[in-house]
Structure 1
Amino acid sequence: MSFSFAPYLSSDIIVQTHAAAATVALVLGPVVIHRRRRDRTHKVAGYVWVLAMAFAALSSFGITDFAMIGPFSPIHALSVLVLWSLWVGMRHAFRGEIAEHRDALRSLYYRGLLIAAAFNFLPGRVVNRMFFNDHRELGYVVLALGLGLVLADVLRGRIARKNRAALAA
Protein backbone atom coordinates (compact mmCIF):
# COMPACT_ATOMS: atom_id res chain seq x y z
CA MET A 1 0.00 0.00 0.00
CA SER A 2 1.48 3.33 -1.05
CA PHE A 3 0.31 6.92 -1.19
CA SER A 4 0.41 8.79 -4.51
CA PHE A 5 -0.69 12.24 -5.61
CA ALA A 6 -0.92 10.97 -9.21
CA PRO A 7 -4.72 10.33 -9.17
CA TYR A 8 -5.28 13.83 -7.76
CA LEU A 9 -2.93 15.53 -10.22
CA SER A 10 -4.46 13.71 -13.19
CA SER A 11 -8.04 14.62 -12.22
CA ASP A 12 -10.02 17.53 -13.69
CA ILE A 13 -9.19 21.01 -12.38
CA ILE A 14 -12.67 21.28 -10.82
CA VAL A 15 -11.97 18.13 -8.79
CA GLN A 16 -8.57 19.48 -7.74
CA THR A 17 -9.94 22.84 -6.59
CA HIS A 18 -12.90 21.18 -4.88
CA ALA A 19 -10.57 18.80 -3.02
CA ALA A 20 -8.24 21.64 -2.05
CA ALA A 21 -11.10 23.68 -0.58
CA ALA A 22 -12.49 20.64 1.25
CA THR A 23 -9.03 19.86 2.64
CA VAL A 24 -8.65 23.42 3.95
CA ALA A 25 -12.05 23.10 5.64
CA LEU A 26 -11.21 19.66 7.02
CA VAL A 27 -7.94 20.90 8.57
CA LEU A 28 -9.24 24.25 9.84
CA GLY A 29 -12.44 22.85 11.37
CA PRO A 30 -10.92 21.54 14.60
CA VAL A 31 -8.87 24.73 15.01
CA VAL A 32 -12.00 26.86 14.90
CA ILE A 33 -14.17 24.47 16.90
CA HIS A 34 -11.76 23.81 19.75
CA ARG A 35 -10.32 27.27 20.41
CA ARG A 36 -11.17 28.20 23.96
CA ARG A 37 -11.38 31.93 23.35
CA ARG A 38 -13.46 33.38 20.57
CA ASP A 39 -10.88 35.96 19.50
CA ARG A 40 -9.50 37.37 16.25
CA THR A 41 -7.84 34.05 15.35
CA HIS A 42 -11.17 32.27 15.73
CA LYS A 43 -12.90 34.84 13.55
CA VAL A 44 -10.29 34.85 10.78
CA ALA A 45 -9.94 31.06 10.73
CA GLY A 46 -13.74 30.80 10.91
CA TYR A 47 -14.28 33.03 7.90
CA VAL A 48 -11.65 31.11 5.93
CA TRP A 49 -13.40 27.87 6.95
CA VAL A 50 -16.81 29.19 5.84
CA LEU A 51 -15.38 30.33 2.49
CA ALA A 52 -13.63 26.97 1.99
CA MET A 53 -16.86 25.11 2.78
CA ALA A 54 -18.87 27.35 0.43
CA PHE A 55 -16.34 26.89 -2.36
CA ALA A 56 -16.28 23.12 -1.84
CA ALA A 57 -20.09 22.98 -1.94
CA LEU A 58 -20.41 25.23 -4.99
CA SER A 59 -17.60 23.53 -6.91
CA SER A 60 -19.24 20.14 -6.34
CA PHE A 61 -21.89 21.13 -8.89
CA GLY A 62 -19.18 21.03 -11.54
CA ILE A 63 -18.34 17.41 -10.69
CA THR A 64 -20.70 15.11 -12.54
CA ASP A 65 -18.81 11.80 -12.54
CA PHE A 66 -21.52 10.07 -10.49
CA ALA A 67 -24.53 11.72 -12.14
CA MET A 68 -27.85 9.97 -11.54
CA ILE A 69 -30.47 12.67 -12.16
CA GLY A 70 -29.27 14.76 -15.08
CA PRO A 71 -25.86 16.07 -14.04
CA PHE A 72 -26.63 15.59 -10.33
CA SER A 73 -26.08 12.85 -7.78
CA PRO A 74 -27.24 12.47 -4.16
CA ILE A 75 -24.03 14.18 -2.98
CA HIS A 76 -25.30 17.41 -4.55
CA ALA A 77 -28.17 17.40 -2.04
CA LEU A 78 -25.48 17.48 0.65
CA SER A 79 -23.95 20.50 -1.09
CA VAL A 80 -27.28 22.34 -0.90
CA LEU A 81 -27.52 21.42 2.79
CA VAL A 82 -23.97 22.72 3.35
CA LEU A 83 -24.81 26.09 1.81
CA TRP A 84 -28.00 26.31 3.88
CA SER A 85 -26.16 25.35 7.08
CA LEU A 86 -23.47 27.97 6.45
CA TRP A 87 -26.13 30.62 6.01
CA VAL A 88 -27.97 29.54 9.17
CA GLY A 89 -24.77 29.32 11.22
CA MET A 90 -23.53 32.74 10.15
CA ARG A 91 -26.98 34.29 10.65
CA HIS A 92 -26.85 33.08 14.26
CA ALA A 93 -23.38 34.59 14.73
CA PHE A 94 -24.44 37.97 13.34
CA ARG A 95 -27.46 37.96 15.66
CA GLY A 96 -25.27 37.17 18.67
CA GLU A 97 -26.84 33.74 19.09
CA ILE A 98 -23.51 32.11 19.84
CA ALA A 99 -24.76 28.75 21.16
CA GLU A 100 -26.90 28.26 18.05
CA HIS A 101 -23.99 29.39 15.82
CA ARG A 102 -21.68 26.91 17.51
CA ASP A 103 -24.18 24.06 17.27
CA ALA A 104 -24.99 24.68 13.59
CA LEU A 105 -21.39 24.86 12.42
CA ARG A 106 -20.12 22.04 14.63
CA SER A 107 -22.88 19.86 13.27
CA LEU A 108 -21.94 20.87 9.73
CA TYR A 109 -18.32 19.90 10.38
CA TYR A 110 -18.92 16.61 12.16
CA ARG A 111 -22.02 15.45 10.33
CA GLY A 112 -21.51 17.07 6.94
CA LEU A 113 -17.86 17.44 6.12
CA LEU A 114 -16.72 14.24 7.80
CA ILE A 115 -19.47 12.19 6.14
CA ALA A 116 -18.54 13.60 2.72
CA ALA A 117 -14.85 12.95 3.43
CA ALA A 118 -15.57 9.35 4.42
CA PHE A 119 -17.51 8.72 1.20
CA ASN A 120 -14.48 9.89 -0.79
CA PHE A 121 -12.78 6.65 0.24
CA LEU A 122 -15.24 4.53 -1.76
CA PRO A 123 -13.50 2.48 -4.46
CA GLY A 124 -13.26 4.41 -7.71
CA ARG A 125 -12.96 7.84 -6.07
CA VAL A 126 -9.76 9.90 -6.41
CA VAL A 127 -9.05 9.86 -2.67
CA ASN A 128 -9.38 6.07 -2.55
CA ARG A 129 -6.93 5.71 -5.43
CA MET A 130 -4.49 8.10 -3.70
CA PHE A 131 -4.41 6.08 -0.49
CA PHE A 132 -5.36 2.52 -1.46
CA ASN A 133 -4.53 2.04 -5.13
CA ASP A 134 -3.45 -1.58 -4.59
CA HIS A 135 -6.15 -2.39 -2.00
CA ARG A 136 -9.11 -0.20 -2.90
CA GLU A 137 -11.51 -2.27 -0.78
CA LEU A 138 -9.89 -0.72 2.32
CA GLY A 139 -11.94 2.36 1.51
CA TYR A 140 -14.95 0.57 2.96
CA VAL A 141 -13.10 0.32 6.29
CA VAL A 142 -12.46 4.08 6.31
CA LEU A 143 -16.11 4.71 5.39
CA ALA A 144 -17.32 2.46 8.22
CA LEU A 145 -15.00 4.16 10.74
CA GLY A 146 -16.10 7.61 9.58
CA LEU A 147 -19.78 6.79 9.80
CA GLY A 148 -19.17 5.19 13.21
CA LEU A 149 -17.59 8.43 14.46
CA VAL A 150 -20.53 10.45 13.18
CA LEU A 151 -22.97 8.06 14.85
CA ALA A 152 -21.03 8.36 18.11
CA ASP A 153 -21.23 12.16 17.84
CA VAL A 154 -24.99 12.00 17.27
CA LEU A 155 -25.47 9.72 20.27
CA ARG A 156 -23.20 11.91 22.42
CA GLY A 157 -25.32 14.93 21.49
CA ARG A 158 -28.55 13.14 22.38
CA ILE A 159 -27.16 12.02 25.74
CA ALA A 160 -25.95 15.54 26.49
CA ARG A 161 -29.37 17.03 25.62
CA LYS A 162 -31.09 14.44 27.78
CA ASN A 163 -28.76 15.25 30.70
CA ARG A 164 -29.35 18.99 30.29
CA ALA A 165 -33.11 18.42 30.25
CA ALA A 166 -32.89 16.28 33.39
CA LEU A 167 -30.87 18.96 35.19
CA ALA A 168 -33.33 21.65 34.15
CA ALA A 169 -36.30 19.69 35.48
Structure 2
Amino acid sequence: MTLSPLFTAPWAVQLHAYAALALIPLTLAMFTLVRGTRLHRILGWAWVLLMACVALSSFWIQEIQLIGGFSPIHLLSLVTLVSLVVAVSAARGKRRGRHRRVMIWLTFGSLMTAGVFTLLPGRLMHAVVFAL
Protein backbone atom coordinates (compact mmCIF):
# COMPACT_ATOMS: atom_id res chain seq x y z
CA MET A 1 0.00 0.00 0.00
CA THR A 2 1.22 3.47 -0.89
CA LEU A 3 -0.51 6.81 -0.49
CA SER A 4 1.68 8.64 -3.04
CA PRO A 5 -0.86 8.35 -5.92
CA LEU A 6 -3.46 9.92 -3.64
CA PHE A 7 -1.12 12.74 -2.54
CA THR A 8 -0.50 13.72 -6.17
CA ALA A 9 -4.15 13.44 -7.25
CA PRO A 10 -6.25 16.54 -8.01
CA TRP A 11 -7.91 18.26 -5.02
CA ALA A 12 -11.38 16.86 -5.80
CA VAL A 13 -10.08 13.30 -5.86
CA GLN A 14 -8.24 13.81 -2.58
CA LEU A 15 -11.28 15.33 -0.88
CA HIS A 16 -13.49 12.56 -2.25
CA ALA A 17 -11.11 9.80 -1.13
CA TYR A 18 -10.37 11.19 2.34
CA ALA A 19 -14.05 11.73 3.08
CA ALA A 20 -14.87 8.20 1.86
CA LEU A 21 -12.04 6.71 3.93
CA ALA A 22 -13.26 8.57 7.02
CA LEU A 23 -16.67 6.99 6.49
CA ILE A 24 -15.30 3.46 6.98
CA PRO A 25 -14.65 3.56 10.74
CA LEU A 26 -17.56 5.94 11.26
CA THR A 27 -19.94 3.52 9.54
CA LEU A 28 -18.69 0.66 11.71
CA ALA A 29 -19.28 2.80 14.80
CA MET A 30 -22.77 3.74 13.67
CA PHE A 31 -23.73 0.10 13.23
CA THR A 32 -22.49 -0.81 16.72
CA LEU A 33 -23.77 2.18 18.71
CA VAL A 34 -27.09 2.28 20.48
CA ARG A 35 -29.49 4.12 18.20
CA GLY A 36 -31.26 7.30 19.20
CA THR A 37 -28.65 8.49 21.69
CA ARG A 38 -26.99 11.89 21.60
CA LEU A 39 -23.75 10.25 20.39
CA HIS A 40 -25.65 8.50 17.60
CA ARG A 41 -27.10 11.83 16.45
CA ILE A 42 -23.75 13.64 16.59
CA LEU A 43 -21.89 10.91 14.71
CA GLY A 44 -24.87 10.55 12.38
CA TRP A 45 -24.58 14.20 11.35
CA ALA A 46 -20.85 13.70 10.77
CA TRP A 47 -21.70 10.65 8.62
CA VAL A 48 -24.29 12.60 6.60
CA LEU A 49 -21.90 15.52 6.03
CA LEU A 50 -19.05 13.23 4.96
CA MET A 51 -21.36 11.29 2.64
CA ALA A 52 -22.60 14.56 1.13
CA CYS A 53 -18.97 15.62 0.69
CA VAL A 54 -18.21 12.36 -1.15
CA ALA A 55 -21.25 12.76 -3.40
CA LEU A 56 -20.69 16.45 -4.14
CA SER A 57 -16.96 16.11 -4.77
CA SER A 58 -17.69 13.43 -7.40
CA PHE A 59 -19.04 16.11 -9.73
CA TRP A 60 -15.50 17.53 -10.06
CA ILE A 61 -14.10 14.09 -10.89
CA GLN A 62 -14.67 13.45 -14.56
CA GLU A 63 -12.19 10.79 -15.58
CA ILE A 64 -14.94 8.61 -17.07
CA GLN A 65 -17.00 10.71 -19.47
CA LEU A 66 -19.92 8.90 -21.06
CA ILE A 67 -22.53 11.69 -21.15
CA GLY A 68 -20.82 15.03 -21.60
CA GLY A 69 -18.45 15.31 -18.65
CA PHE A 70 -20.40 12.83 -16.57
CA SER A 71 -20.73 9.11 -16.02
CA PRO A 72 -23.34 6.83 -14.43
CA ILE A 73 -21.56 7.26 -11.07
CA HIS A 74 -22.76 10.88 -11.07
CA LEU A 75 -26.34 9.60 -11.19
CA LEU A 76 -25.53 7.58 -8.07
CA SER A 77 -24.24 10.79 -6.49
CA LEU A 78 -27.54 12.53 -7.20
CA VAL A 79 -29.50 9.60 -5.75
CA THR A 80 -27.22 9.67 -2.71
CA LEU A 81 -27.82 13.37 -2.09
CA VAL A 82 -31.60 12.94 -2.35
CA SER A 83 -31.43 9.87 -0.11
CA LEU A 84 -29.51 11.80 2.53
CA VAL A 85 -32.29 14.39 2.64
CA VAL A 86 -34.92 11.64 2.88
CA ALA A 87 -33.01 9.85 5.66
CA VAL A 88 -32.50 12.99 7.75
CA SER A 89 -36.10 14.02 7.20
CA ALA A 90 -37.30 10.58 8.32
CA ALA A 91 -35.15 10.69 11.45
CA ARG A 92 -36.35 14.16 12.37
CA GLY A 93 -39.96 13.05 11.77
CA LYS A 94 -39.49 10.01 14.05
CA ARG A 95 -40.02 7.62 11.12
CA ARG A 96 -37.31 5.28 12.34
CA GLY A 97 -38.08 2.41 9.96
CA ARG A 98 -37.75 4.61 6.89
CA HIS A 99 -34.63 6.27 8.30
CA ARG A 100 -33.06 2.87 8.93
CA ARG A 101 -33.92 1.51 5.46
CA VAL A 102 -32.54 4.57 3.66
CA MET A 103 -29.36 4.62 5.74
CA ILE A 104 -28.77 0.91 5.10
CA TRP A 105 -29.31 1.50 1.37
CA LEU A 106 -26.87 4.42 1.46
CA THR A 107 -24.28 2.29 3.23
CA PHE A 108 -24.52 -0.75 0.98
CA GLY A 109 -25.89 0.74 -2.25
CA SER A 110 -23.80 3.87 -2.42
CA LEU A 111 -20.80 3.66 -0.14
CA MET A 112 -19.80 0.01 -0.40
CA THR A 113 -20.79 -0.62 -4.02
CA ALA A 114 -19.01 2.48 -5.28
CA GLY A 115 -16.08 1.66 -3.01
CA VAL A 116 -15.65 -1.75 -4.59
CA PHE A 117 -15.54 -0.18 -8.06
CA THR A 118 -12.70 2.13 -6.96
CA LEU A 119 -10.54 -0.97 -6.49
CA LEU A 120 -10.76 -2.01 -10.14
CA PRO A 121 -7.46 -2.05 -12.07
CA GLY A 122 -6.67 1.33 -13.58
CA ARG A 123 -8.40 3.28 -10.81
CA LEU A 124 -6.46 5.44 -8.35
CA MET A 125 -7.49 3.51 -5.22
CA HIS A 126 -6.34 0.29 -6.89
CA ALA A 127 -2.89 1.84 -7.19
CA VAL A 128 -3.05 2.99 -3.55
CA VAL A 129 -4.17 -0.32 -2.08
CA PHE A 130 -2.14 -2.62 -4.29
CA ALA A 131 0.92 -0.30 -4.48
CA LEU A 132 1.20 -0.18 -8.24
Q: Which bin holds the TM-score, normalised by the shorter protein?
A: over 0.9
Q: Distance in 1 between matches of 2:104 and 2:8?
A: 33
How big is the shift at 1:21? 1.1
Q: Relative contact order (alpha carbons < 8 A, sep ≥ 6): 1 or 2 greater?
A: 2
How big is the shift at 1:33? 2.5
Q: Which has the larger radius of gyration?
A: 1
Q: 1:48 corresponds to which residue?
A: 46
- Indicate the percent of aligned positions where both proteins have the same amino acid: 36
Q: Distance in 1 between matches of 2:81 and 2:33?
A: 24
Q: 1:162 corresponds to which residue?
A: none
- Which of 16, 27, 30 is the aligned partner of 1:29? 27
How big is the shift at 1:31? 1.1
Taking only aligned residues, the RMSD between alpha carbons, in angstroms, comes to: 1.1
How big is the shift at 1:30? 2.0
- Which of 76, 86, 97 is the aligned partner of 1:99? 97
1:23 alignment partner AA? L
Local SS of the residue matching 1:33: helix
Q: Which runs of 5+ in 2 are unaligned?
A: none
Q: Which runs of 5+ in 1 are unaligned?
A: 135-169
Contact 1:33 1:106 in 2 (8 A): no
1:112 lines up with 2:110 in the alignment: yes
Q: Distance in 1 between matches of 2:102 and 2:88?
A: 9
Contact 1:21 1:53 in 2 (8 A): yes
Q: 1:60 corresponds to which residue?
A: 58
Contact 2:34 2:40 in 1 (8 A): no
1:96-153, CA deviations, whole angstroms, 9 ceiling, x for partnerless residues? 101110111111102210001000001111110012244xxxxxxxxxxxxxxxxxxx
How big is the shift at 1:27? 2.2
Local SS of the residue matching 2:66: coil
Q: Distance in 1 between matches of 2:127 and 2:35?
A: 39
How big is the shift at 1:67? 1.2
Indicate the larger mover: 23-32 or 39-48.
23-32
Contact 2:19 2:54 in 1 (8 A): yes
Which residues in structure 2 correspond to 1:65-76 (within 5 Å)? 65-76=63-74
Q: Distance in 2 between matches of 1:56 and 1:18?
A: 5
How big is the shift at 1:37? 4.0
4+ residue runs over 2 A deviation: none
How big is the shift at 1:34? 2.5
